Structure 1
């Protein structure tokens, strides 16, 4: 009966024993017996899919083998299940298993029991290593380190050192960044779909980095990726509201850097369609898209079913917003020519018109609905205007007070730090506690300042909309659609009811 020697080494390391050394130690056990050597270099022990190992097991099944000798148990496998299967098969063909290091003999009951115990700990060690790798990945990703993967369009990698550790950051490619800005500018328009963006890029001969046309998936990846945004307080609040874990404090969202979005441990859906439980971290590179444009595009992706329109709006600024209150399907505009007056315009339930399966409104005069919606938009904006007059004065006073206190806190921290060099142990303890408290207060003040600035920004946006509303007849159809998309989520219309769902 022949002896088989099996040796395996996954990678060359200074602290790992070479295949040649493993074979030399096993030969001492073989003595003068006839033997054959099998070796797998560069293969992991996580499974048994290795060429020489499979060849060895095929010869075991053919018969004529007395023992399999290895340097150590985990040379066969690190998996308890795989190892148990191998031992079971060896026993089936009457083959003994010998490990030089652990000195186990599977011909005895105690040897079999001890063998399985050792393999349990081998599996535990492997799982512990995996957990350490996962923990290290999580820790490094939360510190803004580059963690590999596809480099986003518009950037290339640049070697840097962060916290004394070598890593990479994204460096913009100017000509590609201009295309990224164009994609955002196109998609931020209410009536523009991914297909429209792709068609525009193709028509104008704009290719990706590989020289091919942009695909829908690549355009979507660009639109949804926060590496491009100049992350400010609005971005912080958006991701928090979506249920994402935001690692950095709001004071670090200063409107300059981009951000990394990692898949969270508890995330159950793709980042493109759901942000809940995803992880957002400020990145070291600078963003290139202002937060307002990025948010407009990102919200559009998250709610694409309501925003995407099958056709371009030419005759109504309520396109894509107006639904039948009974069946929930869109109301389409239909115009019927008249001899002496303007065409009669009606909103018609698509389902009722096509299949008569809806018992809803059927048709309703378009001008009546548009007048109601316009009046409600004016009323809604007037509410904010009345509030804003009081808020503006209060916010201005509060902002001045917060800035003064913030400066006082920063000066107090500097004063304490200057005293560290000659402070006694007791004084040092007091300084540490006091500086911690001041830093906590500083963080709260910065968050409040960011909140007020965000309110001021939204007031300015409402002022622009008010200007459009004052000159509605002279506003272009695209601008009307933009105003409606900013204010209104959807409109439900019934026989005697118009229900508006607001975004503000």
Structure 2
């Protein structure tokens, strides 16, 4: 009877890498590269029972320094590893692979990602064994420490430059061009774009919120800054969304200042916006953010100012009026019809008084009809869940972006003798990280706020029960304020002349507590 044979070990494809810094002696029949390869081949042969096989492909870098990764044979080796052709890399000594700890770490990251082992013949360094992996982890820890030191030095350099008012690179903003002719990069005012920037600030103060300004910019076909990278690639030139518009309106660069974290310093560049106007815009942005719908002073008694939208096209409907002799006629008019012509939207305009009466009557009737209370309750709960889901998605996106940015800083910090472009990129990443962390804090605060704003049927009923009594003693300004706090959105459908109202769940809860 034949004895069962022991199953063969899985094959391990081994590549030998050799390097010599100078070209002297390479012309010899048996040179240093051959000696390194011979030692590595002998080691692989000693592991034959483990299934190790030496690949015939030679990866020899003769006349290349170990202080750089720009080596042809090393490049081929890494490419073959990524293509899955190699299981183990064998060298004579660790410094044959790299003399730089940071470069060595980067190479090890490629090996680890592709599940490739690494062996140094003369130093008993073998990542197929636990001791070799421990040694590697110690080296990687020192490399991480060196990365952080480099990153810290770059941050300190950026901070010092910004305290001097110098612009330290990044994405150009609307209103400025980058002057690279001088030894230090500077910002110069682009007069044509500066006119647009001033108008955008004025429009926000005039219209009072981001959405109508965004629609106005779209109707004018105004775009974000169009610029080119050093490689000639075109960037920007997109329509303004809320994020881009908010970033423009809150950028202290337009006041002639440079921001570093929470501090501002006088910049070398000229201001486009006066400090008084900039501060006024910030107050209005903060007011809208805190009040969740508070609007500018209602000069013409528009009860639904900033709340009405056209069902047909989705555009906002703004408060307008016409005067005939001594009488004024008020309307809510579709922005699309105003900007693109009366034929562009079937809604055009609706008498303001009629629409306002319909909305107030609907609010009054809610407390009198249990089914309407149920409808408002269901709608409020739905909006509550929807906002929580949206906040969760936003927070997850920010967390992913923060993780990517931290990883990119780590990669850039490993570069030797970082260029000004690298330093500028790291500066931008730190700025973005700070901004995203602030946004993440705001989102988490809002999530906590929403968690405390769960409402019940009874709270909805209490909120509307005393509405009539409260409403009758309010001034026109107070009525508009109450409606803006209570109502999130009013949609007018011209096809059947119906009105739908969306309420703020938090405002319903507050009103109920006030009534109680």
TM-score normalised according to structure 2 size: 0.43
Q: Which has the higher contact order (CA 8 A, sep 6+)?
A: 2
